[in-house]
Each structure stands twice: as structure tokens, then as C-alpha cells.
Structure 1
């Protein structure tokens, strides 16, 4: 049996959908009813589980051979709870969603330090492990959807800094290979898209696909801090701003061909991702608004 944590998230749900038919799949979630709705008809077992609730974690892991581990807490307590529980339950293999930043010696922010510690925890636990280290998700651009629909405008920090962002579907395909094939134990895979793009590049591409000019407005660091502060606690905000500074210095522009190696096809382009998600950026037919010039 395969257990998928974070199954209703951006990557997790694609992992569940990509697992071979006939494979027993269980998803651990705080809301099994929601998960059952997401995966209706897929033959997926949804169970209630929480990293902070050891008995629920033990129930979710019972009978599991392989697990896909997604955690978001920056304190590291989720991984520290899951890994020994998986070992006690007899889990053989854990595939962990990490991040490419762990390889950058200049990345010393809170989030990256914790990701490194979680990787070390998994490597030393005695289980078979595989690490997936993606660059930024292309789907992060969905945060622009509202302003694009309403104002035909994208606002972001450091619009000319490149990032080899990756389609979450490619990450999920790599995860499925690591979960279902032999030969991935003890391996760490850095996953990127096929080219490094800036936010201004992405804005132009979206405008071309939509058939309308979009404007890019660069945020100041203070504006970005204020915007992030509406979503995240201060330590995470500062970590994200430090990450943006590293991107501006070119730390996230390197492209890997690992997606092709693992899946057999090239990494999907941003244009491919945007075309498949264009509806999110398309205003209602009766909506009118300004027509700014593309930068």
C-alpha cells in the first residue's frame, strides 16, 4: 500500500492521480470527507491523520509499504513525528518532497535550514529514502490570477530575476516513479523546468496566450513584505524575501534535465502549464477594464 500525505495539495493530488490502477492507495488528511470528494471514484482510501496526533498517525501508517511525505511546518516537528512512526509501522520506503534550495550554500534562511534538517532526519532513519528537490512551482503564478482578471496587471518582486520553475505535474510524475519503481533508494533529484524565466517573461507569455496586453509592476521589498505578511508569519516572510534576493543573484537559474531522466519526457514549459490553466486568468466575458501596455 502507498500512503500519500498532502494529497489534496498541488503536488499530492497529481501523485494520487498518477499512481497505477490496481495499486492500493491511502491518503492521510485532516478532512477525509474533502479528500473523498476530490478522489471520488478513484478507489482511494481516505483516512483522518494529523502529524500532531500519534494514534491517528499510527492508524494511517498501518499496512503501508511506501509513503509520499509532504510537510509544511517550518519547525520540523511534522517530519520528526512521521519518520519514527513510519519506521515503527514497518514502512519500507519514504519519498520526501524537499526543495532545491538545500543545495545552495548561500541559503541560510529559516525554511531552508529546516528542510536540510528534515533531509538529514530521513537519511539517518534506517528506511529507504528518496528526496525530490524542485524549484519553484509554476502554479505559484495562480496568485496573480485575480489582478490579471481585474486589472490585466501582475505585481511581483524583482521581475527580471530568473527562476527555472517547474510544472507540479512533472514533480508528481517523478514522485510516482520513485514510489513504484526500484532503483531510487538513496537518491536525491533536483527538478526544474526547461528554462529559467523571470516574472516579466511569464507576464508576457500569459498576455500572448490571453490575447491581451498585460502590465508588470515591480514591488518594492517593503511592499512585498507587507503583501507576504498578510499570508505568513514574520519568520516565513523574511525567509521568502531572502529567497527572492538569492534569485535576483542568479541562484535559481540553473536548469537540470532530471525530469526527462525520470519520466522519459522533457520538462513541461511554462507556456504548456499556462495554456492548461488559462481559464484561471481569463476574465468573465462581460468584464471590461483598462488595456495597459505589455512591458
Structure 2
């Protein structure tokens, strides 16, 4: 039996059927996903590889909710979950902060969780929301680089997690009958609108005005907030399109991006805003397997 890490005061195992108040929708969805992931090694391997964590045959994946940590940074600062990956030789841990529906992450809240992780020797903070990023090591929010010296910050969109599950089911990657049943039920759950898992459905409010300005051949400033907002919407739509296509063909579809820009989302957004301002156009190249 693996002992409880010394930074945990109390916790509850992530439940497949969590008993939570109706107002705890985010914790409910997070608990269900984390509970299923601990029981399907192929799913854990696929999801955790995005944050650089290897899951081997002897690796134990544990997930908790209602976690109280030894060293507090602020009263009421309690994460939605905690992941602990134990290989027997090494241990990696991450706090989970989940948002659902139209709720968005804030730099202030994520910074607090990074401080909490740092104070307790936890390796990373993983945020989950309906906000899109190109890669898990990109984040929808910016926090102090000082905090990121000791703690890694990752992000998963619910849509990406749902797509991973859909691809695994499409490829029949889960051969165990019980695990396959759990995966199918999770796919059904994540696909239901009532869970609050959303695809990208609408461009920014600035889209209409900017496209009208382009039609009228008006000048655009690359640093204008509306131009930057349109560029950001384009990136989100691009990511959502790739995820949709991945679900349909059962393989990963991704946008082709210059390496220097793929490693720096802020620079890519800046380059796209500049392209929109100078050329009055935005474009994407998408790689589809075979």
C-alpha cells in the first residue's frame, strides 16, 4: 500500500459517483473524469504524456478531491483535485483546477494555486476549462515567471480530453471489457450538453466589425484590442476544427505552425494580428494523417 504523501492533511478519492451539491458542477465533472482515468491505463498514458509524465505498467495513478494541504497560502484556497503519479521509484504530483461552461480561469486564482503547489512541494498545476490552447504547456492565463521556476503550469481543454477519449474508443485501444465500458460511458457523459463541456461555438464580438473593416479595405492596427481578439478567436476555431476532425477520423489532426511560434503562443498571436492588419487575411495549414 502506498502511503499518503506528507503534504496532504485530508483527502477523498476521486469518485465515479461523487456526492456533491448541485452548485459543485465543476468538481463533479472533474471527479468523474479523474476517477475513470485512474482505472484506464491507456487513457492515463495518453493524457499524462501531454505534460511529460510517463505511465508504465507498474505506475500507479491516484486522484483525489476535497484535498486539504499541510501548508496553506490563503484560507479557502482549495483545489478541485490532486493527481499523484507513483512509479515506485519516483513520484509526480499536480493540483487540478477545473472550470466548466462559460466560466474562465483567472491569473489571480491560478497564481494562488501555483503558490499553494510551491509551498507543498507539488510539481505542477493543471487547469481544465473550455478555453482552447494548442498544447498542454500553453496556458490561457499568464502568471509570474517567478512562480514557474518551481512549479510547472499546464492546461487541458475539456474538448481535448473528450477527443482523446473518442479517439481511444474509435481505435479500440482499450481491450479490457470493464475498462472499455467505462470509457464508453465517459464519452457519453462528456458529449452531453448538461455537463457544461463546450466546443468553440462563437467568434469574438469584434469579429463582425473587423471583417466589415476588411471588406471596406480600411486600415487596421496590429495592436488594436479588436484585432488581437479576432486573431485569438481564429486560433481557438483552428484548434476546435482540429479536434473535431480528430474525432471523426480517429487520429490526431493538428495545425502546422512554425517551431519558433509553436513554442511561444504569445508570439504566434502577435504574428497573426500583424498578418491580419497588414494583409487583411488569416490562414491556417492543417495536417491530416494519410
TM-score by length of 2: 0.31
Quick one: higher RCO (CA 8 Å, sep 6+), 1 or 2?
Answer: 1
